Structure formats: structure tokens, C-alpha cells
Structure 1
Amino acid sequence: MMLALAARAEAIDWQLHPAEGGRGVVLTFDAGQRVSYRFECTVNDVIVTQKGVTKLMDLKNGQTVGDDAQAVMSPGAAMMALFGGKGDPRFIPADAVKNPAGGWDLTIHLLKGDKQLTAIGKSEMMSLFTTGYTTAVVMDATARAKWSDFMQRCEAAA
């Protein structure tokens, strides 16, 4: 039902952006594909966005959600889960916005103490699971160090 592809996470793919203006520290992942990840720290939570998600399925009716400019997201069809490599992904409703390049940008909010957020700093892989295109990102020592730096800065900003 879900398509999972492995993408190699190298230091160049993960970029840490310091807090600026009204936004908190941001960590982004881009493997040069249409899909990318963005994590933004706020006072109480981390805003998690996956951009360019395609091939979403509405689990209520089994129908595919369109990816083109005219597509409409069915109520409750946008679901996403952060997965740190252990246990089962916990899908929660996501905000969905059309991506101008195709597909959807899905966003969820996780409390800073969420177990999946902390697990990624020790994990060999991570992913943002959706009901569509999902990429498994291999976490090497450099990627884990950037993730841990992001989480430490996020906690310090509380």
C-alpha cells in the first residue's frame, strides 16, 4: 500500500538554519528529489513538513488523491507519521497544501518530547510516512549529529 524508497542521507543533505526573525531553528533534508523534509522548532513543538508528496490514498474510501493542479484533498485523507526506525508509525491528521511543482505539502505538529523526535538522534534511519510516496532516509553519524544539534537548540529555545 505504501511505497518506501531508501535515500542516502549525507551531511550535505541535512542543513541547519539558525533562528531568524519570528521563526525558530530549522532543519531541512533534501536529497535532490522532488520530496524534501522541513523541521521547525517553536516554543512547544516541532512543525514537521514533507513537501511534494505524491500518490496519496484516502484510507476512508480507498481512492487515490490527485497530484495535479485541479486535485482536491478529501477531508481526513491527509495523514502523516514521523518514524525514527523503531516501533510502529503513529499516523496523525496533517494539514495539506497543494505544492506548485506537483503533489502535496503535508504538515504535522509534534510536541518537543515526542518519542520519535528523540529516537532519530540514535537511529540508523528515519522517515516521514504518508499514505503515498514515502522515503526511508539512512542516518549516518554526521546526519545524527546534525539532528541532535537541532534538537538541543530546539530545547534551549523553550
Structure 2
Amino acid sequence: MMTAERHFLADDVPDRVRVGVADLAVATGETRVTTSGLGSCVGVAVADPESGVAGLAHVMLPDATGDDRGKPAKSVEAGVERLLAELEAAGGDPERAEAKLAGGSKMFDFSGVSEGVGERNVERTRTALGERDVPIVAEDVGGDYGRSVELIPETWTLTVTSTHKGAEEL
């Protein structure tokens, strides 16, 4: 599991880093940072394009629950905060950071506690990034289908794949 305490630099870069639910990773170069299973969860990609450092968080919940169980991106606020801190630790400048979002779908049609989690995740993510002056330059959010994403730091490309739309580069 990649946690916020680990990031990769040019000399020790694996070809692919998989980010699990409620986790995050930061990388450079051609390393592909991926996550799948984005339903109501949101994939938050941030980059400092000038430095070539980028990261991806798979945020799970709009609000903190008080028990993150070692998951750095369980809530939107914690995930965005830790992702930007790791971007900076890897040599990126948070003041030059920009973001791309994917996910936040309405996956279930029932009322109750889970209703609107996807929409709330997207709105909280927009707010958390806005409070840190990080502009959102592209997004593929909402709908009623899941997504997978692949981030390439070197080109600041986020490819979003779904059965609904196929693959789309943001």
C-alpha cells in the first residue's frame, strides 16, 4: 500500500504505482499512478507541471469520521491536505499546483445514509482545493458509472476509463 509517507523520485521509480481506496501516491517522470473502482469515491490528481511532480488520491468520504484507520485519503479534507504535502516533499510547489478530478458517481438508487455521497465528495473536493488556491483544470465527475484513472506525471495526463465513455484524456 502506498501511503502519504512514501513518494518516488526519478532514480527509484517503478513503472506503475497502484493507489488503493483511501490512499495516495506521488511520483515523477513516466511512472504511471493508477486507481480503479471510482464509484462515489473521487480520484484527485494534483501536479506542479513545471517540476513534473504529480500525485493521485482515491478519496472515499466527504467528511472525516474520526477514525482513518491509517488511510491518509479516507476523507476529502485529509486526502487533499496530505496529497499537497507529499507533492511539496517530492519537489513540487503547491503554489503552482493544479488539479484534475474523476469519479463522484451516484452508484446506488436508494435513500439513506449513502445517498448523494458522490456529489458530496465532488463538492467537498472542489471546496478543499479552492481553499488552498488550487485550480481545477479538468474533470470527469458525476453520472452513474464507475471509472478507473491513470496519471502520468511527466505529461500531466490523467486518462479516465469507463465502460460508459471509453478512455478520455484530461
What TM-score comes out, normalization by structure 2 length?
A: 0.26
Q: Identify which of structures 1 and 2 has the higher relative contact order when contacts are C-alpha pairs closer than 8 Å and 6+ apart.
A: 1
The structure with the largest strand share of the pair is: 1
What TM-score comes out, normalization by structure 1 length?
A: 0.27
The structure with the largest helix share of the pair is: 2
